Amino acid sequence: MGANRNHGLIVGNYCHDVLIKDDVVLAQTLGGAVSFIASVLDGFNISANYVSKVGSDFSYNNQLNHPPIVSQSEKTTVFHAYFVSDPSEIRREDRVLKKIRSCDPILATDLPDEVNFSFGMAVGIGGEISPETLEKMLDICEVVFVDIQALIRDFDEIDGTVKLVNLKDTKFAHLIPRIGFLKASAEEAPYVDVDEVRKFCCVVVTSGKDGCTVYWKDGEMQISPFSTVQVDPTGAGDSFLGGLVAGLVEGLKVPDAAMVGNFFGSLTVGQIGPPELDSRLMQKVKDEVRTRKMQCDEHDDESRFTKPSGHEQFIASLSAAKLVTARTVSPNVGHEVLDPNLGYTSNQMFCNNSIYEEPIKSIDAKP
């Protein structure tokens, strides 16, 4: 999967995200894994077909580089993300996520019929990707990256709270041997059986401030994080996956590509919604990535999972790029932040939007 064959297929719905802290709405923004992934891939000029569905109420059509399919029967998927002042009051997680409503699923027939995609990304958020859809992706893409949330999320029938089920108990289990890379968060990993799945594909487990761990059949490797100030963790894993894929498309070995993933994950948690990537920063990162690729070409005999010499210097180069091109904080396009304590302001949107048709429900404080 080299930079000369970089046409991808990205599958997953956009959504409306509402951020709620202590039962007060803080912000509402464009959501969905594809929106975060597109920010990264577009920054690298990596071309891809995006297959997503929204309703006629979707609020961001004019702000997307990759327009979705508009459903004639269902509204846009909506998630409420609940935060509390002290996360230990509820769980060890940063948030409680509830699906308020779902748009139409993405069908196998919605995917293009061409069979020459160099990579695919199955990044569903609300159960919109079926086994049949994933199977077609595996048929028409050279290598498929899967975010485990697309396969193991279940939703409470009463309030839509996101629950997780064991991968082996899903209808996707038989497709795992055909997947190239599987990404899971530290909270999702126990539902995957990493030791079993790593026999078939590369598993990458993200751990927030602790970076990520790459598992493959014959080994594993911890990849260092980048320091950052967290504003909103939403989408960090999506941006990580976008960075990982971008690094691999650009020809990096897996450890270096995972480092690029960590880099973009760290940028995302410092913002609300899909990250705004400063053009100077992106140019610097692309220059560093391509320099790194040329350095590693001298060691083609190394395994793609072997940490290449100079890996630590690559970390330092990306860190320096982040510092040198530190952007002036500016409004994120297309979201409203209602809490000045978050440190961001923006254009007012959605004040009377249909998102608020659904009541804001309190978090169950029981463990």
* Distance, CA of 155 to CA of 81 (rounded, Å): 14
Amino acid in the structure at residue 18:
V
* Distance, CA of 135 to CA of 61 (rounded, Å): 29
Could you tell me which of 109, 202, 191, 199 has the C-alpha nearest to residue 154?
A: 191
Query: For the sheet containing 8-11, what is the strand order?
Result: 48-51, 8-11, 117-122, 141-147, 181-185, 202-206, 212-216, 219-223
Cβ(332)–Cβ(29) under 8 Å? yes
State whether residue 113 is helix, strand or coil.
coil
Q: Length of the chain, please? A: 367
Which one of the listed residues 104, 238, 256, 278 is annotated catalytic?
Answer: 238
Residue 232 is among the residues annotated as catalytic for this protein: no
Contacts of 281 (CB under 8 A, 6+ apart): 321, 322, 325, 327
- As a three-state string, the secondary structure of 277-329 is CCHHHHHHHHHHHHHHHHHHHHHCCCCCCCCCCCHHHHHHHHHHHHHHCCCCC
The residues that are catalytic are: 238
